[in-house]
Structure 1
Amino acid sequence: MVSSTPNARAGMPKFAFPALILANLILPLGPVLVRMADVGPVAAAFWRLTLALPFLLILALPRLRRTMPTIREWSALIWSGLFFAADLAAWHIGILYTKVTNATIFGNMSGLMLPIWGMVVLRQRPRAMQAIALTLATAGAAVMMGGSYELSPRYLHGDLLCLLAGATYTGYLLIVQRARVRLDSWSVLAMSTLFSIPPLLLCALWLGERIMPGDWTPLVVLALSSQLVGQGLLTYAISWFTPLVLGLSLLLQPAVSAVLGWVLFGEWLSITDMVGTMAVAAALVLVRLPSRA
């Protein structure tokens, strides 16, 4: 998730827009694959990173040889790995206890939490569009959680875990900002992935989860789709579009999640659910609108 991006550049590659759309069609598969895996949810996160790590290292090592991290940057990378592990652990557990659509929406709340961080910690005055977005998001999230609680308190538990995942991912983004001043994105992603793997394995063992899968297919697809292809396409395409286009493209994710949840798990969205989902989705678009000069 990215809080701001440059304006669209001249000479955009013809594959940039298809890559952006395809990324937002692939990423919602993550919650479905976690449910399909025959290991625990945190173990699924462990395998998602472990299976993707060799490919990430191949991409990152040539760049790391040219620009070795400093001691301060290594510290930031270790902390980013811990926060990324917390994000995946909370999100993967939450996926099992709420609707696929809710998990997708709440797991992507970092786009709204970053402006909140700026207002609360950095004392930044919110723009009018940010204030509207935060109001919409609060109302929409309350509606979605109310609908979850009506179905089962366990669903509300899942919503809160996915919100926690969004918060810890926000912390991850704030930490890697300093490392990204000098290091490239593949180096940061590979090293944060490397440092996320041990705490995820320890957490899965502590929870008593099943670690070794009987069927590797969902985990291999999860690693390739979520960690490599989806994020890779998004990383490739993101610099060519304005914040508005990026925000609008994110609306594909809850839509795809709603369809997958209905087809695979019989998760019907009520009118109330739809209103709450669209309110949060609209907030994710509004918060990315550039401010007027």
Structure 2
Amino acid sequence: MNGQAALAVLVGAALIGLAPIGVRLSDLPPVATNLWRFVFALPILALWAANDKRGAARDVRLLLIAGVFFALELSLWAASLTKTTVANATLLTNMTPIFAAVFGWLLLKERIAPGVLLGGAVALTGAVLLAIGRAPAAVAPTSADEGWIGDLMATGSAFGYAAYLLMLRAIGARVGVGGVMFWAGLSGVVVTFALALLLREPLLPHSLQGWLILIGLGVVVQVGGQGLIAYGVGRLPILISTVLLWMQPLAAAVLSWLIFGEALGPLALFGAALILAGLFVAQRARAGQPAKTQ
């Protein structure tokens, strides 16, 4: 079970590596883009929730709150992509494991195995080197003077995502993934719609490609990627699941290289190797621990 959960998180993280690419290519501003991401995912999630054997009735309030955290995280992260590089935005957003480890220890009393800490430290080092190595080639959408604002937004998004994942971890054992994703997605629609109106962002893309990108974000990233992550997070300690999410910056880096020409130099490639090594060490350490039944 733990092996399946870990694989689900890894695959989900790779899929959500597509998200920054979609935001950069979208016809719409960041918050409006994320609004449609939730909207296109919602019908699929509604069917999934309706066929889920484990209902979410007693946990609806918590799931709605979790969706608010997730929507705010997405909005901050997506907005950061317009003010800093994909590398910086993805790296700082993925500081989530640091916050999640603290929250998990304080609130869920989860023990942190030394091997998991070592793997997380190696992966974090790799993520930092990956971002530094990409910095000369990564061109931000706006001026360098605004980069610190984007970095601050990305850091704030890490807090939101840690809170979201922590709530999924707390209730994931008793609520089906379909119910989790539907109710969180429902509040995500409300939050992103309100923010898009507040920011006066246009809501309709002006091309067929724009619509296809939004559909892809909803189906592939939200339903596929986040659904796999929700499954895995509900069955793994919060630290190990969030460390595995460092597959996302690696996937985003490769895709940015292919699409935006943000080439990976020797330092970035070494960082990518360290991320993979850290994930391997963390997962091996987790695999060596006695399995917990859910």
TM-score by length of 1: 0.74
Residue aligning to 1:12 = none
Identity between Structure 1 and Structure 2 (%): 28
Question: Which one of 22, 29, 54 corresponds to residue 43 of structure 2?
Answer: 54
Residue pair 1:91, 1:103 contacting (<8 A) in 2 also: yes
Residue aligning to 1:37 = 26
Q: Offset of 1:170 from its aligned partner? A: 1.2
Residue aligning to 1:69 = 57
Residue pair 2:23, 2:78 contacting (<8 A) in 1 also: yes
The one-letter amino acid of 1:28's match is: G
Residue pair 1:145, 1:159 contacting (<8 A) in 2 also: no
- Quick check: 1:177 aligned with 2:169? yes
Residue pair 1:26, 1:225 contacting (<8 A) in 2 also: yes
> Secondary structure of 2:157's match?
helix
The one-letter amino acid of 1:34's match is: V
Shift in alpha-carbon separation, 1:156–1:143, aligned structure 2, 3 A: farther
Deviates more, 1:122-131 or 1:169-178: 122-131
Residue pair 1:39, 1:212 contacting (<8 A) in 2 also: yes
Q: Which aligned pairs between 1:186-225 and structure 2 lie closer than 5 A?
A: 186-215=178-207, 216-225=211-220
Residue aligning to 1:260 = 255
The one-letter amino acid of 1:39's match is: L
The one-letter amino acid of 2:169's match is: Q
The one-letter amino acid of 1:261's match is: S
CA RMSD of aligned residues (A): 4.1
- Quick check: 1:166 aligned with 2:158? yes
Residue pair 1:137, 1:280 contacting (<8 A) in 2 also: yes
Residue pair 1:49, 1:197 contacting (<8 A) in 2 also: yes
Q: Offset of 1:106 from its aligned partner? A: 3.9
The one-letter amino acid of 1:174's match is: L
Question: Which one of 71, 76, 80 corresponds to residue 90 of structure 1?
Answer: 76
Q: Offset of 1:58 from its aligned partner? A: 1.1
The 2-side partners of 1:212 and 1:201 are apart by 12
TM-score by length of 2: 0.74
Residue pair 1:141, 1:276 contacting (<8 A) in 2 also: yes
The 2-side partners of 1:127 and 1:233 are apart by 24
Shift in alpha-carbon separation, 1:257–1:285, aligned structure 2, 3 A: same
Question: Which one of 94, 100, 114 corresponds to residue 100 of structure 2?
Answer: 114
Structure 1 alignment gaps of length 5 or more: 10-15
Shift in alpha-carbon separation, 1:171–1:139, aligned structure 2, 3 A: same
Q: Which aligned pairs between 1:271-282 and structure 2 lie closer than 5 A?
A: 271-279=266-274, 282=277
Shift in alpha-carbon separation, 1:155–1:198, aligned structure 2, 3 A: same
Q: Deviations over 1:179-212 (max 9, x none)?
A: 3342211101100100111111111222232222
Q: Deviations over 1:87-140 (max 9, x none)?
A: 111121122333334444444443443223234566766432244345445655
The 1-side partners of 2:29 and 2:250 are apart by 26
Residue pair 2:87, 2:131 contacting (<8 A) in 1 also: no
The 1-side partners of 2:180 and 2:110 are apart by 27
